[in-house]
Amino acid sequence: MVRQWIAGAALFALISGYSWAEVAQPSDNILKEQFSKQYHGILKLDSITLKNLDSTGNQATWSAEGDISSREDMYTGVGMAADYYFVEKTWTKDRPVKFSAMLTSKGTPASGWTVNYYSLQMAASDQGRAIDDIKTNDKYLIVNSDDFNYRFGNIEASWRAQKASIPGLEEQLSALDKKIAVAKKEADAYWGKGADGKPLTRAEAFKKTLKERDDYVKANDSSVYAEKYEKRGLSTGIRRVS
């Protein structure tokens, strides 16, 4: 009986070992290509170690560990002041970050592979985006960069200088407002006054001048003059001889 149990256990171990040995693993290139595709080309797989957890036919489940990195520096916004954007660098280009994940595979080396990663855990933030002009645009301040304190200090000093100049600017604006008021008053007086004694605007002054001209032309029109002459002749008894 004992011999039968030992033989059965040995046979089970041999069968199990044979099954484990038959589990095919996707190649590194397949794993890297799928990882890059699944994470939109932003992250890349540098190295990976798989451990088989379960397999049925051409399907298998694996746990994975290794290193990943980003193809670009990545940032996430943390605040804004005036025209400045404060961001934190969450990923440094090509710097390896440890990760763990689960993945499923389906296929064989001959038929090709379908691979899917899930439950990804990283020793870095899962947030961030690339900012194309961050190195040329002075409006971005990276809060975890070496030169942040220096740059922020310069900006703060500039703000203080601007604030200190505000009273002087207000005095200049006040003086300018007074000059503008005087000039406006002189301009209004230039156009004269109306019959009601109120200052005329430029448009009103032109209208008045044009009316006076029209009245003068009308009063001295030749036909009007002739009519007046005829009336005057009748009243004095004078007649024109034709």
Q: What is the pLDDT of residues 156-171, one digit of tens each?
A: 887 787 777 777 667 7
Is the pLDDT confidence value at 54 over 80? Answer: yes
10 Å Cβ neighbour count for 131? Answer: 18
What is the pLDDT confidence band of residue 235, given thresholds at 50, 70 and 90?
very low
Which is more confidently placed, 181 or 234?
Answer: 181
Mean pLDDT for 132-156 is 88
Is the pLDDT confidence value at 132 over 80? Answer: yes
One domain, residues 32 and 102: yes
- 223 part of a folded domain: yes
One domain, residues 104 and 136: yes
What percent of the chain has pLDDT above 70? 70
Is the pLDDT confidence value at 217 over 70? Answer: no
Q: Token match 């194309």: residue?
A: 132
What percent of the chain has pLDDT above 90? 43
Spell out the long-range contacts of 139-146 with Cβ–Cβ below 8 A and sequence spacing 24 or more: 139/83, 139/84, 139/85, 140/84, 140/85, 140/87, 141/84, 141/85, 141/86, 141/87, 142/75, 142/87, 142/88, 142/89, 143/78, 143/86, 143/87, 143/88, 144/88, 144/89, 145/89
Average pLDDT over the chain reads 79
Number of domains observed in the structure of the chain: 3
- 10 part of a folded domain: no
One domain, residues 72 and 133: yes
Mean pLDDT for 197-213 is 71
What is the pLDDT confidence band of residue 182, given thresholds at 50, 70 and 90?
low
What is the pLDDT confidence band of residue 224, given thresholds at 50, 70 and 90?
low
- 9 part of a folded domain: no
44-53, 147-156, 167-176, 196-205: which is most confident: 44-53
- What was the pLDDT predicted at 49? 97
Which is more confidently placed, 179 or 66?
Answer: 66
One domain, residues 63 and 160: no
- What was the pLDDT predicted at 42? 92
Domain boundary among 145, 165, 181: 145
Range of the structural domain that residue 58 is part of: 24-145
Domain boundary among 145, 168, 203: 145
- 184 part of a folded domain: yes
- What was the pLDDT predicted at 228? 64
Is the pLDDT confidence value at 225 over 70? Answer: no
10 Å Cβ neighbour count for 105? Answer: 24
Is the pLDDT confidence value at 200 over 60? Answer: yes
Tell me the three state secondary structure of residue 88. strand
* Burial state string for 31-42 with b = 16 or more CB within 10 A and e = fewer than 16: bbebbbebeeee
One domain, residues 41 and 135: yes
- What was the pLDDT predicted at 229? 61
One domain, residues 34 and 140: yes
Residue type, 37: K
- What was the pLDDT predicted at 16? 46
Domain boundary among 113, 145, 177: 145
